[in-house]
Structure 1
Amino acid sequence: MISVEGLKVEFGIRPLFSDASFVINNHDRIALVGKNGAGKSTMLKILCGMQKPTSGIVSIPSETTVGYLPQVMILQDDTTVIEETRKAFDNVTKLKERVDELNRQLSERTDYESEEYLKLVELFTNEHERYVMTGADNCEAEIERTLAGLGFERKDFNRPTNEFSGGWRMRIELAKILLQRPDVLLLDEPTNHLDIESIQWLEKFLSQSAKAVVLVSHDRAFINNVSNRTLEISCGKVVDYKVKYDEYVVLRKERREQQLRAYENQQKEIADMKDFIERFRYKPTKAVQVQSRIKQLAKIVPIEVDDVDNSAMHLKFPPCLRSGDYPVICNDVRKDYGPHTVFSDVCLTIKRGEKVAFVGKNGEGKSTLVKCIMNEIPFSGRLKIGHNIQIGYFAQNQAQMLDESLTVFETIDNVAKGEIRLKIKNILGAFMFGGEASEKKVKVLSGGERSRLAMIKLLLEPVNLLILDEPTNHLDMPSKDVLKEAIKAFDGTAIVVSHDREFLDGLVSKVYEFGGGRVKEHIGGIYDFLREHDIDSLDALGMAKNAEKQSDGHRETKTTRESQQSETTTNKLTYTEQKEQRKKITRIQKAVKESETAIEKMEKRLKELDNILYEPENASDMKLITEYTDIKHKLDTEVERWEQLCEELEAMTK
């Protein structure tokens, strides 16, 4: 679908990458990986035609469509959510207008036997078939299903987009791209603005419905669940691994061990050559051998080893003062914005040393409660911060608040105090800002580099309560691993607001779920919470209740029938009349039972079809939709029949 050959990109003396060649095929799910600043976002921009390479060729067939979601984009604010999302089908709308115009022309023509009329008929037929094949009749259902999957509620559909945060508007753009069903999807950090439920929905969509995907993400669980191939940008080269991310990690480790052995062997070879040259440089009898070694030495191409792997990033929070037993206590905390209640009746107690997670859909109040704890916004109720608490706060926008005119070193030097100033270079080196990187201006740093720099600022003073609001956004995977281990070893208390399942796994022992204006406590880790969430889903609960209700109803009907039959025997009827009546009652009872069995089967099949049609790839399957409609009609008819039989049975047994 897309062919890349000999790609090279230069922004300075050293190329970002060079001689990159690969092919993106249909059904490829490619994870584009590499350290921050390696050129992942640049590669996506080149693939979608937004940026030109220094040299090389990117071949995209004319009929191939490409959809691109950047990390940051200009968003529209002049429409509603549903109107903005409908723009995904602008091409379908134009095609519909063309079909209508051709139809109008046909209705006005009377030269039915002319060649022009026959050509017009053929053109109309072709365009109408194209329109039907787009599944246009199901566009609205697809829009609603996609928006719901990305976390929007039906009541949000007609709200102006300017009422939503930038993260929610990015979801609208993502919905538009997914609805267009391009041949190749290019996604740059698509999970940064999604909650756990929406990420899981997107995983399923990309795995089952997308044609080809190239994605950049630092969410390890997401990228592993989606990918079947991994492209690594390392040491200025692009290496293609035909495996999913987890398998790539194993192969990458093996490859690096081989790379290190080759590097060590090469260094020994170079050292031996230099030693030979120095020992025999001035001996005439060895002149030929010395010149030969000098030529060999000049031809050696140095083996490079990725500096991400060479630099161990060690992060350790400084020792903290002992806090009170309960750093945070909330009693009936409530927050309103005008008539809108974000949450109410929040009661929670966080103990010293606990690591807890705040999870839930965006807009449900996670960051709002954090701001209440920080006393940045007013609220009602009682919120007590424990004795001797020193808070370290990392906000979502922390990286954007850095002074772009300063260098990396100046940024840290301005906030460092006392003896820590003597260790600034060591700290910067641990965060991969060693050497010349410490002299970079903040304005040229990537999103991940800025996040690392903002995290360093948090480490400069000892704290005993860490509040981290989406700390992993734009952090690469090695950085996240080290941060996670540091928080686990932190002897204070930590509140982590995050949608990154892999990051939270093994880190937190309690999860607070935000949703529907309430905050619910779940004891256990993040995957314990997810398993409990699945079990307690409304669908499962509804099915259990219906089953219980039907069971109770059957028992009740049976008891009623038995009592009614016993009353029948007391009626003063002739023997023949009683015999006929009993036969009729038996026939009706049998019909009721058969009707109940038929209703149960149809309800079960409708439930199955509901789940099937919920999948994006089946949403426009007319065969399934027709089956669903037919069964629904038959079910309604059968329920009416069952009610009539029950009424007849009741009348006979009175």
Structure 2
Amino acid sequence: MIVLQASHLKKSYDGVEVLVDASVIIRAGDKVGLVGGNGAGKTTLLKLITGEEQPDGGTIAKRDGLQMGYVSQYVQPDADTTVYQFVAEAQKPLQLMEAKLRELEAKMADPNVYTNEQRFADITQTYERAAHQFEQAGGYAWQTNVRRVLAGLQFAAEMQPLPISALSGGQRTRLALARLLVQQPDLLVLDEPTNYLDTDTLAWLEGYLKHDEGSLLVVSHDRYFLDEVTTQTIALEDGITRHYPGNYAAYVLQSQQEREQQAKLYEQQQEEIARLESFVQKNIARASTTKRAQSRRKMLERMERVERPRGDGPSVRVEFEPRRPSGRDVLQVSDLTIGYSHHIVAQHISFHLERGMRLAILGPNGAGKSTLLKTVVGLLPAHTGQIKWGQHVEVGYYDQEQSDLDDTKSVIDQVWDERLDLDETSIRKALAQFLFRGEDVVKPVSGLSGGERSRLNLCRLMLRQANVLVMDEPTNHLDIPSKEALEQALTDYSGTLLFVSHDRYFIDAIATHIAVLEPDGLVKYLGNYSDYREKVAENERIASIEQSVQNAKEHTRHPATADATTSQPSTRRRIRSSDVRKLQDEIEKWERTTAELEARLTAIGMEQSEAAAMQDIDRIRALEEEREHVEQACHQALEKWEQASLQLEMLQSESD
């Protein structure tokens, strides 16, 4: 069933065409990725679909009663409510229904009601109907779902009572996303939802969206996210959309095959045109062949021409070439403590960089990754510890905050003032590699977009010719072609790289080593992001299996006190062939427990309706108390089930 169809949309601003012929078809359950370069019109298309703006031409048809939810890139929720209240408001209808139930329960508990049998019967019948509607709408599980989504998006229980005014901009954006997920619309429309999310949160969001039954339309530059979530891809280029089945990787392959096929047809037709034109030119003047030449000329006039394959358009060209190589030992960090004035962020940080290593620093938002980089390059003082750079090391630093750009300068002056040894032609040539051409080079830095500022900083970094690059979120604000160009440049780079990124596709392509920043040091892994995930999954399986063994032993020895031992640490050991079955048994156990508790919640709703019909006040109260306990147990079981399910998913991905 089609839930939304946009046909031949057109949109222009101040005479500049943004959308020329854009069409979108979304069916129930489709997960659609919308891709295209910066400025291609993706956000404009979303605004037309969601009704924020109106198209200049074309039509948009929606299924009757379609519930659409939209979170744009920039969101400022109401700061007068708490974190939990803001997300819970997405279930306002259920809250009102629940409040009505509590009101009816209070009326039934009033002794004065018993004096009027008809009035009591009316109230209990009303309660019976309301309880049934509440149960049918999933009302007995809505609070569990709110807590589950908040926890998944890194809003722990202690954060949920906080006012929104206490949150950062990135946290507010995540909170708006949480509210939308709880709302569970028929069609979810997301514009760059992966911004401000760390890798663990991204993995959770991917799992949530993949298993959500609703439809999805998402704009994202995160190729890893698109590959994990989407089942359809729409490419927007030059204001025109093209549809492809499959995720981003499938789209790239199909698009390349299309270009190759069109190039082949174009070349074949050009050869045929050249042959016909040559025949006409040689034979048009001869009486004996002029009719055949005229026939060939008409054939040329009627021929439907194959368009020349469109190139990829202007793209960034990045080349990092060190002025000279560094020594073998590049950096030694020993027992480092980082933070600000009176606030320690992390401590006991030690690691070693050798020439040619590419070390990616991972960790949750707020762990101190950017602080670590700034401390290493000397922009922040270390609290304690030692930072020792090797011989002949020349460091180039890329700041995600772009704080070292001078908004009072022009683009060319920003670069030229740092490389006075170069002439204007060389500076313009370097800027052209980053798409600053002609009048673009005299633009004020203050007027640049986020993507342009990123490209300008990459140009400055390239010209420094450093043999060590320290980069903080270098792919932020870059479109996919620019990311791919940066990846290729860093792959070819002969120097050493220390970087922070939440772009897992980028990390996978670049990193030779991974280090996870924790409050008490770094945990190091050999390999790229995929290797790191495999190792983490292996460690989690071992820990889970041994915890299960420990729990089983405790249940055997002390059944009554087993719950108190579930948090005891375990010693890791090698996985036996039977370990997989044990893990699957534990997953099935939590799945059964969750299903049983949810079934009990449904049954409680029905029993409350029956108790209301029988005017059994004591029973109604007892069921209400039981409902609260079961909801809490369901929430805990659901968390255990989700954790176990993630471990199983990782295991299955390894076996693939």
TM normalised by structure 1 equals 0.75
Quote the residue 1:384 is aligned against.
Answer: 387
SS in 1 for 2:19: strand
Task: Provide the residue aligned with 1:60 in structure 2.
Answer: 62
Inter-partner Cα distance in structure 2 for 1:40 and 1:619:
44
Structure 1 counterpart of 2:91, from 86, 89, 98: 89
Structure 2 CA distance, aligned partners of 1:210 and 1:199? 19
Check whether the contact 1:311–1:430 (CA below 8 A) recurs between aligned residues: no
**What's the offset of the Cα at 1:396?**
2.0
Cα distance between partner residues in 1 of 2:194 and 2:243: 24
- Report the 3-state secondary structure (helix = DSSP H, G, I; strand = E; otherwise coil) of the residue aligned with 1:467: strand
Is 1:138–1:620's contact at 8 Å kept on the other side of the alignment? no
Q: Counterpart amino acid of 1:393?
A: Y
Q: Is the Cα contact below 8 Å between 2:315 and 2:482 reproduced in 1?
A: no
CA distance in 2 between counterparts of 1:556 and 1:464 reads 61
Shift in Å at residue 476 of structure 1? 2.5
Relative to structure 1, the CA distance from residue 179 to residue 550 in structure 2 (aligned partners, 3 Å threshold; closer, same or farther) is closer
Indicate the residue corresponding to 2:469 in structure 1: 466
Alpha-carbon contact 2:335-2:350 (below 8 Å) kept = yes
Given the alignment of the two structures, is residue 348 of structure 1 paired with residue 351 of structure 2, yes or no?
yes
Give the corresponding residue for 1:326: 329
**Alpha-carbon distance in structure 2 between the residues aligned to 1:361 and 1:467:** 19
What residue number does 1:42 align with? 44
- State the shift of 1:451 in Å: 2.7
Rounded Cα–Cα distance in structure 2 between residues aligned with 1:275 and 1:98:
86
Q: Residue by residue, what CA displacement relative to the aligned partner does 1:53-75 show, whole Å, maximum 9, x if unpaired?
A: 22111122351111122222224
| Correspondences of 1:121-132 after superposition (within 5 Å) | 129-132=132-135
User: Which residue number corresponds to residue 137 of structure 1?
Assistant: 140
Which shifted more, 261-270 or 166-175? 261-270
**Alignment match, 1:610:** 590
Change in Cα spacing, 1:439 to 1:206, as seen in structure 2 (3 Å) is: farther
The yes-or-no answer on 1:28 pairing with 2:5 is no
Whether 2:354 is the aligned partner of 1:374: answer no
The CA deviation at 1:363 is 0.7
Deviation at 1:419, TM superposition (A): 3.5
1:89 is displaced (CA, Å) by 2.2
Q: Structure 2 vs 1, CA of residues 604 and 455 (structure 1 numbering), >3 Å: closer, same or farther?
A: closer
**2:599 is the alignment partner of 1:622:** yes
- Residue matched to 2:367: 364
Report what 2:17 is aligned to: 15
Quick one: which amino acid aligns to residue 74 of structure 1? Q
Partner in structure 1 of residue 401 of structure 2: 397
The 1:237/1:111 distance shift into structure 2, 3 A limit, reads: farther
Change (3 A) 1:430 1:604: closer
Cα distance change on mapping 1:194 and 1:544 into 2, 3 Å: same
SS state of the match for residue 460, structure 1?
Answer: helix
Alignment of 1:409-448 (within 5 A): 412=415, 417-419=420-422, 421-433=424-436, 447-448=450-451
Rounded Cα–Cα distance in structure 1 between residues aligned with 2:37 and 2:387: 41
2:338 to 335, 340, 345: 335
The amino acid of 1:89's aligned partner reads: Q
Question: CA 1:367–1:17 in 2, change beyond 3 Å: closer, same or farther?
Answer: same
- 545-554 or 240-249, which moves further after superposition? 545-554
Whether contact under 8 Å (1:317, 1:462) holds in the other structure is: yes
Q: Which amino acid aligns with 1:389?
A: V
Cα-to-partner distance string for 1:92-114 (whole Å, 9 max, x where unaligned) = 33444566678899999999999
Q: How does 1:483-562 map to 2 (within 5 A)?
A: 483-537=486-540, 540-548=542-550, 550=552
Assess if the C-alpha contact under 8 Å between 1:276 and 1:290 holds in 2.
no
Aligned AA for 2:88? R
When residues 29 and 604 of structure 1 are mapped into structure 2, their CA distance, relative to the original with a 3 A threshold, is closer
In the alignment, structure 1 residue 244 sits paired with structure 2 residue 252:
no
Listed one character per residue, the Cα deviations across residues 258-284 of structure 1 (whole Å, up to 9, x for unaligned) are 222344456667778998999999999
The one-letter amino acid of 2:335's match is: D
Shift of 1:447: 4.1
Q: Give, in whole Å, the separation in 1 of the partners of 2:98 and 2:537.
A: 42
1:256 aligns with 2:259: yes
- The Cα shift of 1:175 comes to 0.9
Greater displacement, 406-415 / 16-25? 406-415
**1 CA distance for matches of 2:352 and 2:450?**
34
Amino acid at match of 2:387: K
Provide the C-alpha distance between the structure 1 equivalents of 2:156 and 2:463, rounded to a whole number of angstroms. 42
1:297-336 map, 5 Å: 303=307, 305-307=309-311, 309=312, 311=314, 313-336=316-339
Which residue does the alignment assign to 1:205? 208
Q: Decide which moves more: 297-306 or 174-183.
A: 297-306
Q: Is the 8 A contact 1:335 1:380 kept in 2?
A: yes
Q: How many residues align?
A: 580
Is residue 2:5 matched to residue 1:3?
Answer: yes
Aligned to 2:571: none
Q: Distance in 2 between matches of 1:14 and 1:266?
A: 34
87-96 or 261-270, larger mean C-alpha shift: 261-270
Greater radius of gyration (CA): 1
Q: 1:620 to 1:10 in 2, by over 3 A?
A: farther
Within the candidate set 210, 229, 236, 1:233 is matched to: 236
Moved more, 139-148 or 8-17: 8-17
1:113-163 CA distance string (max 9 Å, x none): 99xx99x99987766544333323323322221122122333332334344
2: distance between equivalents of 1:281 and 1:341?
A: 88
- Cα distance in 2 between the residues matched to 1:620 and 1:259: 58
Cα 1:256–1:294 shift into 2, 3 Å: same
Deviations 1:21-72 (A, max 9, x none): 3321111011111222211122112211112222111122351111122222
* Inter-partner Cα distance in structure 1 for 2:341 and 2:134: 46
Instruction: Say if 2:159 is the partner of 1:179.
Output: no
Q: Verify the 8 A CA contact 1:609 1:624 in the aligned structure 2.
A: no
Going from structure 1 to structure 2, the CA distance change for 1:218 and 1:304 (only over 3 Å counts) comes to farther
Q: Do the aligned partners of 2:20 and 2:238 also contact (CA within 8 Å) in 1?
A: no
The two structures have a TM-score, normalised by structure 2, of 0.75
- 317-326 vs 462-471, which moves further: 317-326
Shift of 1:187: 1.4
Structure-2 change in CA distance of 1:382 and 1:323 (3 Å)? farther
Shift of 1:364: 0.9
Gap change, CA 1:156 and 1:224, over 3 Å in 2:
same
